């Protein structure tokens, strides 16, 4: 008698610069995986995805891995219409991507069921299955990257809102007199706590110093700001303190609105270490009602570097 093969899915994580594709089972065992650039001189994003899926299947076959593919799950940068599996909006990092009917094209190409969602929603699914949200039913997930993204789980299920736009925590106002954000609002969280904002605010301060004659070379990214902060740099400390204050005031409001049991913070900025999380916990504790803060865990994302791909694939078992 042949042993029953575990069900598998293809997980596709589409980012601004690269696409990570893998074949995995429900427990996260990866049979094959590869990474390709998001945009190629000859092919658009969807062309890269289709070629990448074919190649990862071939990779598994070449290794004589027996496959039992049940479907394809995609997590993508940009705004995604989950119901139709279409790209609602994507910026210029992914040219010609807005409007792409990802689900329709992949279903036609591979004759498998396809689910498509945004990258933060699938990160939340990965955290729920493999990471810091494993015992959580009411989870808030905040991703600090180029921008600030969010996802919300209630009774273990993603909350999408009327058309799928829920969870834009990056565009919560944390300073109602603050500067104008690209979204139209004032003083949004994203203006203080995203990776690009942390680097920009550091450089603005350094330029002011330069004007008074001090030698102040600029920083390339938030990683460098965090490195200087750990070394005790005074300007970096001001910038990080402000990012923490902005983030903590947003988190305190979210705790009051949603009553979560767990808050998971992921994305590049969140890889900056335990000292950053300790600061956030302290600041949130100062700002939130004690009765509501008491049982909330605030943790870094822990489903690892494969989280986007694994979370994308998890959609197959989440919804079918």
Q: Is 181 in the site for Zn ion (CB under 5 A)?
A: yes
What does the alpha-carbon distance between residue 153 and residue 69 come to, in Å, rounded to a whole number?
A: 27
CB 141 within 8 A of CB 131: no
Residue 93 sits in the site that holds Zn ion (CB under 5 A): no
The DSSP secondary-structure symbol of 260 reads -
CA neighbor of 34 nearest in space, from 53, 7, 62: 53
Work out whether 275 is an interface residue with Zn ion (CB under 5 A). no
DSSP codes, 95-157: TT-TT--HHHHHHHHH-S-EEEEEHHHHHHHHHHHHSTTTT-SSEEEEEESSSEEEEEEETTE
Cβ 11 to Zn ion shortest distance, Å = 30
Euclidean distance between CA atoms 9 and 311, whole angstroms: 11
Rounded least distance, CB 185 to Zn ion, Å: 5
Closest distance to Zn ion from the beta carbon of 181 (Å): 3
User: Is there binding between residue 185 and Zn ion (CB under 5 A)?
Assistant: yes
State which residue, 197 or 272, has the beta carbon closest to Zn ion: 197
User: Binders of Zn ion: how many residues, by CB under 5 A?
Assistant: 5
- Measured from the Cβ of residue 38, the count of other Cβ atoms closer than 10 Å reads 20
- Separation CA 281–CA 2 (nearest Å): 52
Q: Which is nearer to Zn ion, 188 or 252 (CB)?
A: 188
Which helix (H) or strand (E) element contains residue 69? strand 69-76
Closer of 83 and 183 to Zn ion (Cβ)? 183
Nearest distance in Å: CB 242, Zn ion: 17
Binding segment for Zn ion (CB under 5 A), chosen from 10-18, 97-105, 156-164, 185-193, is: 185-193
* CB closer to Zn ion, 201 vs 228: 201
Within residues 161-180, the interface with Zn ion by CB under 5 A covers 171
Please identify which residue in 94, 126, 188, 316 interacts with Zn ion, judged by CB under 5 A.
Answer: 188
Tell the smallest beta-carbon distance from residue 77 to Zn ion (Å). Answer: 17
Q: What region, left, alpha or beta, does residue 78 occupy, with left being phi > 0 and alpha being psi -120 to 50 degrees?
A: left
Residue 283, Cα to own-chain centre: how many angstroms? Answer: 23
Nearer to Zn ion, 19 or 77 (CB): 77
Q: How far is the CB of 194 from Zn ion (least distance, A)?
A: 10
Choose which of 5, 83, 183, 275 interacts with Zn ion (CB under 5 A): 183
List of residues contacting Zn ion (CB under 5 A): 171, 181, 183, 185, 188
């Amino acid at each position: 008698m042949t042993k029953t093969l575990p069900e598998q899915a293809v997980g596709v994580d589409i980012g601004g610069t690269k696409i990570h594709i893998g074949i995995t089972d429900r427990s996260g065992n990866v049979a094959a995986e590869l990474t390709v650039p998001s945009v190629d001189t000859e092919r658009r994003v969807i062309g890269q995805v289709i070629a990448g899926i074919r190649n990862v299947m071939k990779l598994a076959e070449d290794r004589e891995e027996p496959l039992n593919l049940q479907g394809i799950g995609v997590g993508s940068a940009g705004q995604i219409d989950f119901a139709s599996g279409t790209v609602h909006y994507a910026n210029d990092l992914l040219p010609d991507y807005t409007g792409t009917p990802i689900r329709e094209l992949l279903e036609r190409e591979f004759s498998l069921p396809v689910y498509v969602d945004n990258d933060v929603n699938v990160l939340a699914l990965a955290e729920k299955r493999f990471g810091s949200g494993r015992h959580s039913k009411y989870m808030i997930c905040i991703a600090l990257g180029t921008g600030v993204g969010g996802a919300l789980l209630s009774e273990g299920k993603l909350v999408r809102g009327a058309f799928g736009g829920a969870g834009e925590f990056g565009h919560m106002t944390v300073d109602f007199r603050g500067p104008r954000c690209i979204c139209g609002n004032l003083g949004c969280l994203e203006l203080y706590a995203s990776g690009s904002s942390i680097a920009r605010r550091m450089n603005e301060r350094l330029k002011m110093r330069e004007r008074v004659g001090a030698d102040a070379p600029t920083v390339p990214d938030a990683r460098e700001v965090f490195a200087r902060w750990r070394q005790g740099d005074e300007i970096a400390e001001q910038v990080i303190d402000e990012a923490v204050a902005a983030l903590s005031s947003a988190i305190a409001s979210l705790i009051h609105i949603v009553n979560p049991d767990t808050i998971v913070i992921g994305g590049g900025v969140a890889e900056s270490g335990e000292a950053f999380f300790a600061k956030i916990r302290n600041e949130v504790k100062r700002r939130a009602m004690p009765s509501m803060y008491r049982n909330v865990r605030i943790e870094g994302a822990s489903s690892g570097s494969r989280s986007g791909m694994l979370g994308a694939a998890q959609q197959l078992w989440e919804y079918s």
